[in-house]
């Protein structure tokens, strides 16, 4: 590796590793508190957290813009011809809401087997931090539901500010109380 490559990789690990996971935890808490049923289910059975994290990753798809690829050779993708050298954006969000893969996809169902989601991408560039990300989400959610079972939003859902302008979907802040 050159110095430049080493610095680039370090920045990627820091930004890719922090923004994504921090926002995934905040978005998950918001999704669970919005309709308290999910939150209460985890408070009653913290062991559901592991599966719930997979469903939250599917439902939220934090890397909203999808993954960008250059086409290596002429091919047909989803019925559309793409030529070598062209660019393709694969929407992870659309794949994670595909009713053929996940029935009733717009419903957050914490008991669904969502392990086949594509929130971490697919193929050789699939997220290298996904095991750490899963662990962080599990630890954070389990700690919150066991230590702060009465956690609730401090403002109406409509007043929570989203980061619609950022590549990693997330929240500007999440006001909570307990
Ligand atoms: C919930 C949290 C996370 C999500 C949703 C996420 C999602 C993704 C996605 C969609 C990709 C692109 C995959 C592709 O191009 O096919 C990616 C790549 C990557 N992620 Fe993550 N990530 C998360 C956490 C992390 C963490 C914790 C780290 C590091 C500690 C990390 C480091 C990376 C790196 C270095 C790449 C580039 C891999 C490559 O190009 O070969 N990510 N991530």
Report yes or no on 70 lying in a domain: no
- For residue 78, being part of any structural domain is answered with no
Q: Which pLDDT value is given to residue 131? A: 96
CA of 158 to the centre of ligand 1 (A): 29
Mutation pick for ligand 1 pocket among 119, 122, 129 (CB with most ligand atoms within 8 Å): 129
Cβ-Cβ contacts under 8 Å for 102 (sequence gap 6 or more)? 58, 96, 112, 114, 117
Mean pLDDT of 161-177: 89
| Euclidean distance between CA atoms 146 and 45, whole angstroms | 9
* Tokens of residue 111, six digits: 């008991």
Q: Is the pLDDT of residue 23 over 90?
A: yes
d(CA 37, CA 109) in angstroms, rounded, equals 10
**In a domain? residue 73:** no
Contact 67, 61 (CB under 8 A): no
Angle at alpha carbon of residue 130, lines to 33 and 2, rounded to 5°: 135
Residue 160 belongs to what domain range?
Answer: 3-63+108-177
Query: Using CA atoms, how far apart are residues 126 and 124, in angstroms rounded to an integer?
Result: 6
Assigned token pair, 34: 């919005």
Which residue puts its alpha carbon closest to atom 23 of ligand 1?
20
Ligand 1 atom, smallest distance to 9 CA:
35
Give the mean pLDDT of the chain. Answer: 94
Q: Is the pTM of this model over 0.85?
A: yes
Q: Which two tokens stand for residue 139?
A: 């630890």
57 in a domain, yes or no? Answer: yes
Q: Does the structure show a pLDDT above 80 at 106?
A: yes
* Residue pair 100/107 in contact by the 8 Å Cβ criterion: no
Per cent of the chain over pLDDT 90 is 79
In a domain, 87, yes or no: no
If you measure from the C-alpha of residue 156 to the centroid of ligand 1, how many angstroms do you get, rounded to a whole number? 32
107 alpha-carbon distance from chain centroid: 15
Answer yes or no: are the C-beta atoms of 61 and 119 closer than 8 Å. Answer: yes
User: For 132-158, what is each residue's pLDDT tens digit?
Assistant: 999 999 999 999 999 999 999 999 999
In this prediction, residues 55-62 reach a mean pLDDT of 96
pLDDT band at 4 (very low <50, low <70, confident <90, very high): very high
Judge whether residue 12 has pLDDT over 90: no
Query: What's the CATH number where 34 sits?
Result: 1.10.630.10
Residue with tokens 């950022």, as numbered in its chain:
166
Number of domains in the chain: 1
């Amino acid at each position: 590796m050159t110095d430049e490559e080493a610095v680039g990789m370090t920045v990627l690990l820091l930004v890719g590793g922090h923004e994504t996971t921090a926002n995934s935890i905040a978005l998950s808490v918001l999704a669970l508190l919005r309709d308290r049923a999910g939150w209460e289910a985890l408070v009653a059975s913290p062991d559901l957290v592991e599966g719930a994290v997979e469903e939250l990753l599917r439902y939220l798809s934090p890397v909203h813009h999808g993954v960008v690829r250059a086409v290596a050779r002429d091919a047909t993708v989803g019925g559309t011809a793409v030529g070598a050298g062209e660019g393709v954006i694969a929407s992870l969000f659309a794949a994670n809401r595909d009713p053929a893969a996940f029935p009733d996809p717009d419903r957050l169902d914490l008991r669904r087997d969502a392990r086949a989601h594509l929130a971490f991408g697919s193929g050789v560039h699939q997220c290298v931090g996904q095991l750490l990300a899963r662990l962080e989400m599990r630890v954070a959610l389990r700690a919150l539901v066991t230590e702060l079972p009465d956690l609730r939003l401090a403002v109406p859902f409509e007043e929570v500010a989203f980061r619609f302008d950022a590549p990693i979907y997330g929240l500007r802040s999440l006001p909570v109380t307990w």
